[in-house]
Each structure stands twice: as C-alpha cells, then as structure tokens.
C-alpha cells in the first residue's frame, strides 16, 4: 500500500519485485489523477489517503493479505511533517520482514 503515487514509478518497481517473488499486489493512492504505467498487480486509486471512502476501498482491496507493506510518501508539507502521527491500525503478527 503506497500513498503518493506521483508518476507510478515506485508502484511499477514494486509490482516487478512481486513478479519475481510470484506473489503480491500494489494498491497506490494519489490526489492527482494521471496516466500511469499499467501492470496487472497495480491498482491506482485517486483521492486523499485520509478520506474515509479511500481508506475503506484500500481495506477492501487488501483484505486479509499478510504481510502488508505501507509506504507513506504523500504529503511533504511542513504542517503534515510536524503533525503527530502513527499507524491507526496495526495487525497482530510478525513485523519487520522475514516472513
């Protein structure tokens, strides 16, 4: 799950890594709708990653998949960087890779 799609390069790269692993998919969100590289493992969503409708759609797409890697790369404004934040939902289970 990636926020801040931009031109889609990271999503395409991650999808290629998933191809090598033979599993996985990418859900990526950006506020700007744009033409981006197509890949069967990538789902592009347009909207704010904080919008409850987008959050619900991401949850629907991710389902019970595990593990889930989250890349937060969307809002680089000073206000956003200084805002207290943290994961609002962390699933139980191993974290930190290797699974």
- Cα–chain center distance at 32: 15
Residue 92 is assigned to a structural domain of this protein: no
In the chain, the number of structural domains is: 1
9-59 pLDDT, tens digit per residue, is 999 999 999 999 999 999 999 999 999 999 999 999 999 888 889 989 999
- What is the pLDDT, as a whole number, of residue 7? 94
- Helix locations, the chain, DSSP H: 9-21, 52-62, 78-82
Whether 86 has a pLDDT exceeding 50, the answer reads no
Residue 88 is assigned to a structural domain of this protein: no
Range of the domain at 52: 2-75
Query: Measuring CA to CA, how many Å separate 68 from each of 34, 37, 53, 56, 63?
Result: 25, 22, 20, 16, 10
The CA-CA-CA angle for residues 9, 12, 14, to 5°, reads 110
Residue 80 is assigned to a structural domain of this protein: no
Distance CA 11, CA 30 (A): 12
- What is the pLDDT, as a whole number, of residue 31? 92
Residue 26 is assigned to a structural domain of this protein: yes
Average pLDDT over every residue of 56-75: 85
Q: In terms of C-beta density within 10 A (0-12 exposed, 13-18 middle, 19 or more buried), how is residue 84 classed?
A: exposed
- What is the pLDDT, as a whole number, of residue 98? 43
pTM: 0.78
Residue 70 is assigned to a structural domain of this protein: yes
Residue 47 is assigned to a structural domain of this protein: yes
Residue 10 is assigned to a structural domain of this protein: yes
Residue 85 is assigned to a structural domain of this protein: no
């Amino acid at each position: 799950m990636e926020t801040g799609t931009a031109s889609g390069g990271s999503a395409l790269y991650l999808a290629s890594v998933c191809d090598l692993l033979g599993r996985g998919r990418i859900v990526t969100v950006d506020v700007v709708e744009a033409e981006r590289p197509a890949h069967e493992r990538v789902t592009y969503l347009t909207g704010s990653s904080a919008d409850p409708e987008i959050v619900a759609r991401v949850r629907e797409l991710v389902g019970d998949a595990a593990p889930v890697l989250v890349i937060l790369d969307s809002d680089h404004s000073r206000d956003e960087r200084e805002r207290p934040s943290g994961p609002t939902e962390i699933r139980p289970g191993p974290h930190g890779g290797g699974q």
